[in-house]
Structure 1
Amino acid sequence: MEILAVCGFGVGSSMVLKMTLDKVFKELGVDANVQTMDLSSAKGAKPDAIFTSKEIAKDLRNSTTSPVYEVEKYMDKQEVKSAVEKFINENKK
């Protein structure tokens, strides 16, 4: 599955979020390819899910059909895990 960690420029906070997402997906036993991306590029991408800040989430929801999940504290593994579990539960096939 393709996952995006998105921030304004795609290099700072999105990298921190990516590292936490990688840990969470591994812990849950889910095979996921997590990439970082800037806001403009993410608007044209078609990942399985996008994880980002509340400030960016609204803009992304208006620009993409991919589900967008908000994370406030990128280093908080429990908060990130809750967002990932929400994504998994909402997208069970």
Structure 2
Amino acid sequence: MKDLKIMAVCGFGVGSSMLLKMKIDEVLKANGMKAEVFTADVATAASTECDLIFTSKEMHEQLEGEVSVPVIQIDNFMNKKEIEEKGLNIIQQLLG
């Protein structure tokens, strides 16, 4: 099984993306999945190698046409249920 790389993106790659990263990690653990989850700012996200991106509505619009991986828009970074609903199927497909 390949190592999945998931990027959490916000404007500066620190505050809200770190929060999102922690929630993605919690969702993965709760579902018995493993992946490398890391943060990035929107300026470097398009040139950073990964398999999947989670981000906000604003960053989603900026990134969607710039990257070749799925970009998942999360409206509430604290909502694990939203992360599961929008991302779990895609993560499972990528893990194969």
**Structure 2 length as normaliser, TM-score?**
0.89
Aligned residue for 2:7, secondary structure, equals strand
User: Residue 4 of structure 1 is aligned with which of 3, 7, 11?
Assistant: 7
Q: Distance in 2 between matches of 1:88 and 1:24?
A: 11
Check if 1:81 corresponds to 2:84.
yes
Separation of aligned partners in 1, 2:95 and 2:26: 21
Residues 1:92 and 1:19: Cα distance change in structure 2 (over 3 Å)? closer
Partner Cα separation in structure 2 for residue 41 and residue 15 of structure 1: 16
Q: Which of 66, 69, 77 does residue 69 from structure 2 map onto?
A: 66
Aligned residues: 93
| TM-score computed with the length of structure 1 as normaliser | 0.91
Question: 1:88: how far off?
Answer: 2.7
Q: CA RMSD in A?
A: 1.4
Give the unaligned 5+ runs of structure 1: none
* Equivalent-residue separation in structure 1 for 2:93 and 2:35 (angstroms): 16
Identical aligned residues as a percent: 41
Structure 2 stretches lacking a partner, 5+ long: none
Amino acid across the alignment from 2:5? E
Secondary structure at the aligned position of 2:87 is classed as helix
